[in-house]
Every structure is written in structure tokens, then in C-alpha cells.
Chains A and B, each alone.
Chain A
Amino acid sequence: MDKFRMIFQFLQSNQESFMNGICGIMALASAQMYSAFDFNCPCLPGYNAAYSAGILLAPPLVLFLLGLVMNNNVSMLAEEWKRPPGRRAKDPAVLRYMFCSMAQRALIAPVVWVAVTLLDGKCFLCAFCTAVPVSVLGNGSLAPGLSPPELARLLARVPCPDIYDGDWLLAREVAVRYLRCISQALGWSFVLLTTLLAFVVRSVRPCFTQAAFLKSKYWSHYIDIERKLFDETCTEHAKAFAKVCIQQFFEAMNHDLELGHAHGALATAPAGLAAPAPPEGAEEEREKLRGITDQGAVNRLLTSWHKCKPPLRLGQEEPPVGNGWAGGGPRPPRKEVATYFSRV
């Protein structure tokens, strides 16, 4: 456990290492999944190709979708994409950046699955055993004696050693070696191609759109943080709301009881109880409410947050002006109005 914690700390030392670490972990998980999977070729002419194609393509798709689903930022991207512009314009470059970075991370596990499948060779062997060139590898002279369906049925059994009965035509090991060799060559070519693509994308990017890239990175990070802070502020507000609501309830109860026993013994109780002085904490809680004190107001606030996001311009009380690009000239000295510095 301690070892894992330290490896984790090392990988977290900077953002870049952390991402590399995540990529490594996903690659390992994918490879582990493949080795745990029990490949089972049907060894029948029509079914081999379908089974192999399924094994080669379906798990990568599932892994890709899983990678997207497990990424918390997917909902953030969807939200940013579908929100009404409100007072803040939408920037397609930011959306593109967010989508690209999520897709890149989600593509790692599928790529590793495909690479490991090809390098292992069982899938390829199962799919293409009926396409082996018998005339080159085996006793080509005997091949014409068989009808194509017979030949196909015979060759389809190559992946299954216990039922293969075609050694007189083609030695099983020869066919297996041939197909596995091609599969491994394809696998390594695939690996080389993907690393080359990744390298070109990563290295060539700074040559072109570096300034735009910095902006997109900043704003996508901003959107993430803003969402988290809004949730935290709402939670704080809800807590304060609940506290004040409950306090008021108890005060009201107390008041009712007082009224009910006005002629009773409690009439002699200290007057302070009848007119409840709010305890010290209540004032603080009321302040935290920031004036949003009823259900309708809260609902309006939340609707407005979604429908009409505030402009990216701080420190001004301006009337709503289209989107966040209101004016750019020098402004007269502004009054600082927002002074809420509750430390989140």
C-alpha cells in the first residue's frame, strides 16, 4: 500500500506526470483484461471471422465509451455545449479543446486492446485460417482434390489443435506460425503508426496554434473550477438556509407555546424569552444567505445560472448587455461592490 502511495505521489508531482500515470494505468488495465479473457475460437467456417471481428472491435468500443463515461468532464462539456448563451458567449475552440483532451485519454485503452490482440495472434489466426495459401505452405498438389467448402471446413479447424485433422494437407504449426507472424507484423505496425500520430500531433501543435491553445486550456480549466465553486457555494447556501429555517421554526414553536401559556406559570419567565434575541450564530447564517431567502428565489437563481451565465467581467454593476463582450474602452474608476470574501 505504501509503495502505491509513493508511486502515486511521484506521478502527481506535476500535471503532466499525472496524465502519463493515468495513461499507463489504463494501458495496464486493458492488457490485464485481455490476458484474463479466455479466447475461444469456434473453428467453424462461417463463424470464425464473425467471432474474431467481434473480439477485435467490440471491446475497444466498450472501453472507449467507458473511458468517456468515467471522465467527469463529459457532463461539463455537454453542459457547456447546450447552455443558452445568456450574458456569456460560447467559445467553440474551448469546446473543441475539451472534447479532444477527453477523447485522447479515452482512446488509450482501446488502442492497447487492439495492439495486444494483434500481437498475441489468436484472433487473427481464428479469422484468417481459411485464407491460408495451401499451395505455398503445404502439399499444394493435394488441394485441388477437395471442394472449396470441404477445404474451408478443414482449414477452419486450424486454431483448434485437438480436432484438426488436416496434417496430410498442411501442417498445423506451419499455418499457425505463418498467420501469427503476419498478425504480429500488423500489430507492431499499428503500434508504430499510433505513436507516430501522437508524436506528430503533440510536437507539431506548438508550431501552429500555441496562443489559441493557451487560451482554450485556461478557459476549460476555468469552466471546471467555476462549476465546482458554484456547487460549493450552493451547498453553503443550502446549509445556511436549513439552519435559519430550523431556527425560525423552533422560535415560532417557542413563541406559540409562550402564547398558549400566557396566563400560566411561564408568564413569569424572563421577558427575554418572549422576544427571542437571535443568537450570535443566526446573524452569520443570515449573511450567508446573501438575501436569497425563499424557494422561489433559489429556483430563480438556479434557472438563471443555467439560462443566463454571467459575463466574464468582474467588479462592475452593469445592466445586462448582450453577451460578455460589453465595451472595451477605458472605464471610469469603479466602485467595488462585491466584497464577499468568504474563503471557500
Chain B
Amino acid sequence: MEKFRVLFQHFQSSSESVMNGICLLLAAVTIKLYSSFDFNCPCLARYNALYGLGLLLTPPLALFLCGLLANRQSVLMVEEWRRPVGHRRKDPGIIRYMCSSVLQRALAAPLVWILLALLDGKCFVCAFSSSVDPEKFLDFANMTPSQVQLFLAKVPCKEDELVRDSPARKAVSRYLRCLSQAIGWSITLLLIILAFLGRCLRPCFDQTVFLQRRYWSNYVDLEQKLFDETCCEHARDFAHRCVLHFFANMQSEMRARGLRRDTADRDPEPPVTPGPQDGLDGGGSGKAHLRAVCSREQVDRLLSTWYSSKPPLDLLASPGIWGGRGGLNHRALTVAPGNRLSQHTDV
């Protein structure tokens, strides 16, 4: 149990680790899917090749798309690609880096499926049994070509009465399986060599550029997550104050209509401003969360600006009107909320 805990903590440590974890999960799901799938070759002349090749290629395509879907960075990459430039210029190298990392991880599950199918052999036997050259096998010497074709089509089906217990069927089947496994292992070896070379030779080219791109692609991911969290906090505080405001308004409305009874002897002073006196000044984290963005139009403007004009990656630029944190300054409300965001480093 302890090592699982360590493993999970490791996978949660950074966004790259999370993506690796999801990639591994998807590979495990692929293995389970393949083993639980009931292979069913039709053993008919034209259908065999279609079925065999279809089963070799369609599930990998679907798994590739699933891999892209499950990966958060694919959406981030498209967003980063399509955003307006704003105050932050775009770096195509970062987008390329994100694209390649997303594609690499998404290719894992399809490759697992293809390799499993090849090493297992059933797909290959089904697809290519009709294309085997009968000259290679002595058992077909005294059969007419159409009989041979019929026989070959039924090779993948062990239990079919035409080919049951036939040494010719076993020979063809063994031949095709051997071929399939050879191809499977060759592909595995090739992929591993490519991965090894890629990993080892990368530091020889542009290591600093690579480090920069990795940093900034990680940054984009974290920034988006933090923006979402900040929006959630803001929504929570906004809602809280809205509800309290509503209660207060109700109360003042009722007082205005004179509907309160016996206020004189019960509460001599209007209980409008009781409560903790730290409400206005600094307001602890409650006020700071709202950051003076207090109306629908302001929130909408903030979100539009975040999209259309991302702040520059320069924390020390233009201190601006808001020298410090928190505090409600009415002048700040006339400044576009987007600029203020660049000052907030209280993460």
C-alpha cells in the first residue's frame, strides 16, 4: 500500500507526471480491452482481409483520439495557438513542443494495441490467409484453385468442418503466425531504438531551447489551472456577498415600509452594521479575493480580457495604480481589470 501511495504522489507531482499517469492508465485499459474482445474472423473470401485489417487499424485510431481527448494539454495547445496576441507574444516553439508531447503520449495506447494484435497473430492470420501462396505447401497439390481458395479462407476458423484437424490448415496458420510475430517484434525493437536514440541524442541539439520550451509549456498549464481556481474563489466570494446583500436589502426594505414591530424596545440601534469590524479595512482574505471585481460587467470584461489580451510575462512591469494588495480603491474600478491581474502574485 505504501508503494502505491508513493507512486500516486509521484504522478501527481507535476502536470507532466499527471499526463504520464493518464497515458499509462490508457495503455492498461487497452490491454484489458484487447484481452476481453472476442475475435471473430468471418472466414469468407473477401471479408477476411477487411475484418483483419479493420481490427488492426480502427481501434488504434479510436484509442489515439481518446488519448488526445483525455489529455488536458491538447486543449491548452489549441487555445495557445488560437489566442489573440494581446500583451504576450506567441512562441511557435512552445506550441510545437506541446504538440509533440501530446502526440507522443497519445500514441502509446494505439501502439500497444497494434503490437498486441501482431504478437497474438489472430488478426494477421485472418487478414492474410487468403493471400498465402499455395505453392509453399505440399498439401494443396491435388486441389483445384477454387477449392484452395475456399480452404485458405477457412484457415482462421479452427472448428469449421472443412478444415478441422487438417495438417494443411495448421501449417498455414503456423506460417502466418510466425510472420506476424516477427513483424510485431521488429516493430517493437524499432520503436525502442527510436525512443532510445531520441532520448540520448536530444541533449546534443539545442538543450537550452528545449529547457525553455518545457518550462513555458508547463507554465501555460499551471497558469490556466490557477486562473480557474482564482475564478472559483472569486465566484464564491461574489456569491457570498450577493446573498448577504440580499438579506440586508430585505431588511432595509421592510424597515422602509414600517413592517418591523417593536424595534424600539428590542434593538435600539439598527443592526445594519454589526459583525466583525474588520469588514472594510483590508477585510482579510474575503475582500482580497474579490479584488474589486464586483459586478457582472466587470467579470465579463475580466474574462474577455484574459482571453483576448493576456498579460505580459513580466511581473515587475508598470506597478500601476494598485501599489499593494487588497484594499478597496474606487479609482481602481475604472482601470480595466485585465491589467490588474498581472500584479497579483499571491499564489
Contact = CB atoms under 8 A, between A and B. Distances in A.
B43 to A, nearest CB: 6
Interface stretch (A39-47, A69-77, A225-233): A225-233
B103 interface: no
Given A211-B307, A314-B241, A203 B78 contact: yes
Contact of A341 (B65, B279, B300): B279
Interface stretch (B138-146, B153-161, B202-210): B153-161
Contacts of B134: none
B212 interface: no
Given A188-B62, A210-B79, A301-B250, A290 B159 contact: no
A188 B231 contact: no
B286 interface: yes
Interface stretch (B69-77, B181-189, B193-201): B69-77
B250 A195 contact: no
A290 B295 contact: no
A310 B252 CA distance: 14
A314 B18 contact: no
Contacts of B47: 178, 181
A250 interface: no
B12 interface: yes
Contacts of B225: 14
Interface in A189-217: 189, 191-192, 195-196, 198-199, 202-204, 206-207, 210-211, 214-215
A220 to B, nearest CB: 10
Given A119-B37, A211-B303, A214-B307, A337 B235 contact: no
B58 A17 contact: no
A292 B42 CA distance: 76
A218 B299 contact: yes
B66 interface: yes
A344 interface: yes
Given A313-B294, A328-B297, A334-B330, A202 B244 contact: no
B10 to A, nearest CB: 11
A177 interface: yes
A229 B238 CA distance: 11
A2 B247 CA distance: 44
A300 B295 CA distance: 25
A120 interface: yes
Interface string B18-62: 100110000000000000011011111001001100110011011
A314 B295 contact: yes
B87 interface: no
Which of under 10, 10 to 19, 20 to 34, or 35 or more describes the interface residues of B? 35 or more
Contact of A6 (B5, B75, B159, B243): B5
Contacts of B147: none
Contact of A233 (B61, B243, B259, B300): B243
Contacts of B68: 199, 203
A236 B94 CA distance: 51
A314 B238 contact: yes
Interface stretch (B114-122, B165-173, B270-278): B270-278
Interface residues of A, number: 87
A210 B309 CA distance: 13
A342 interface: yes
B247 A290 contact: yes
A344 B43 CA distance: 68
B133 to A, nearest CB: 25
Given A215-B303, A291-B260, A314-B242, A10 B42 contact: no
B240 A185 contact: no
Contact of B78 (A3, A207, A226, A333): A207
B275 A20 contact: no
A322 B318 CA distance: 39
Interface of A is mostly: helix
Interface in B305-322: 306-308
Given A192-B58, A206-B79, A341-B286, A171 B296 contact: no
Given A291-B251, A304-B250, A188 B275 contact: no
A85 B141 CA distance: 86
Interface in A302-323: 304-305, 310-315, 317
Contact of B244 (A137, A199, A340): A340
A188 B303 contact: no
Nearest to B47: A181
B136 interface: no
A292 B296 contact: no
Contacts of A331: 330
B321 to A, nearest CB: 14
Contact of A195 (B62, B240, B241, B267): B62
A336 to B, nearest CB: 5
Interface of A: 2-3, 6-7, 9-10, 13-17, 20, 119-121, 137, 171, 173-174, 177-178, 180-181, 184-185, 188-189, 191-192, 195-196, 198-199, 202-204, 206-207, 210-211, 214-215, 218-219, 221-222, 225-226, 229-230, 233, 237, 286-287, 290-294, 297, 300-301, 304-305, 310-315, 317, 324-325, 328, 330-331, 333-334, 336-344
9 contacts: A177-B42, A178-B42, A184-B55, A188-B55, A192-B61, A203-B68, A230-B243, A290-B251, A340-B248
Given A336-B279, A338-B241, 19 more contacts: A17-B22, A120-B38, A173-B157, A177-B44, A181-B41, A188-B58, A191-B62, A195-B66, A195-B69, A226-B239, A230-B243, A310-B245, A310-B246, A312-B296, A312-B299, A314-B241, A314-B294, A315-B294, A330-B334
6 residue pairs, one from A and one from B, having the closest CB atoms = A339-B279, A291-B251, A312-B296, A226-B239, A181-B42, A314-B294
